Amino acid sequence: MNEFQLIKQYFQQPDLNFSNEYTALKSGDDCAAFSLPSDLELHFSIDTLVEGVHFPENANPFDIATRAVAVSISDLAAMAAIPIGFTLAITLPELKQDWLQRFSEGLIQAAQFYQCPLMGGDTTKGPTLVITVQVHGVCETGQSLKRSGAKEGDKVYVSGPIGDGAGALPLVIEDPCLNSGLAKQFYAPIAQVGYAQKIKTSANSCLDISDGLVQDLNHICHASGVGMTIDPKAIPLSKELLATYGKDKALQYALTGGDDYQLAYTAPHCQFGVCIGEVVKGKQVTVQGMDLSSGGFQHFI
């Protein structure tokens, strides 16, 4: 099988390389193209996953694919953009048809779930498996949610349980092919695309939690010139996380872990989400009853 047969067989399948209302030209030419009405802005974001760095070696190819697409689409969700298509650059150490088959099945599942077709890409041979996904999405002009809009007096919300992604990581490092219970949160996080549409008119600022709740909320603080106080007791923790690690460790994962792909946002009032604190005058996040300055969130003060 040569490079072009490989591309055709695995990356240009009709279930993956479909069209939507924005598709002007899909995979097959030197470029793909979108056709956009003038009242929409194109948003795009790119993420690279390196084997052994962002996912364990020997992970299930289906899971690698669903994760790669979901974490990229999560960046669109963070800004309330709707996915319209993605491109994929993949570097493969060797051509394994069984691996590619299962990888492309994961791509198809994600593409269908988010209604976001694969529109083109690049396929190369190299020493390590590297997967780069660029996602494209649309939002009405000037309406996307940013990190910079938080205002003193806003409440701070999260879209769902925090800490599961970080709690899943030790489990998938132990067993790269585990994909049940908590481990599912690592390989198949759900990008909150629909959720973002529900909050976009009330939220003043938003991002997706990929690096840990405190660190990510600090990004909003810095971009908006505000501080935040967070009530740790209000942070939603899943039953699975609590059952696996107990309360203290679960909270530690939630505050500093990352890989959640839930949304964190601020709004004067929002009927959706869990309120975990508020925006105050200041420069950074404080978590009530905890000293974050030592880097040791586990040290209660």
Q: Which residues bind ligand ADP (CB under 6 A)?
A: 7, 11, 27-30, 88, 90, 118, 120-123
Residue 118 or 191: the one with the smaller Cβ distance to ligand ADP is: 118
Q: How far is the CB of 124 from Mg ion (least distance, A)?
A: 14
Pairing of strands 274-280, 227-230: antiparallel
Q: What are phi and psi of 77, to 5 degrees?
A: -60, -40
Residue 30 or 94: the one with the smaller Cβ distance to Mg ion is: 30
Can you tell me the distance from the alpha carbon of 155 to that of 163, in angstroms, rounded to the nearest whole number?
A: 20
Q: What's the N-to-C CA distance of the chain in angstroms?
A: 63
Tell me which DSSP letter residue 273 carries. Answer: S
Can you tell me the distance from the alpha carbon of 12 to that of 136, in angstroms, rounded to the nearest whole number?
A: 18
Q: Which does 118 bind (CB under 5 to 8 A by kind): Mg ion, ligand ADP, none?
A: ligand ADP
Compute how many residues bind Mg ion; rule: CB under 5 A: 1
Q: How far is the CB of 71 from ligand ADP (least distance, A)?
A: 17
Which token pair is 261?
A: 């792909």
Can you tell me the distance from the alpha carbon of 161 to that of 242, in angstroms, rounded to the nearest whole number?
A: 11
Q: How far is the CB of 77 from Mg ion (least distance, A)?
A: 32
Q: How far is the CB of 17 from ligand ADP (least distance, A)?
A: 7
Residue 118 or 190: the one with the smaller Cβ distance to Mg ion is: 118
Q: Which does 163 bind (CB under 5 to 8 A by kind): ligand ADP, Mg ion, none?
A: none
- Choose which of 30, 94, 180, 271 interacts with Mg ion (CB under 5 A): 30
Q: What are phi and psi of 12, to 5 degrees?
A: -120, 30
Residue 32 or 190: the one with the smaller Cβ distance to Mg ion is: 32
Q: What are phi and psi of 139, to 5 degrees?
A: -150, 145
Residues forming contacts to Mg ion in the complex (CB under 5 A) are: 30
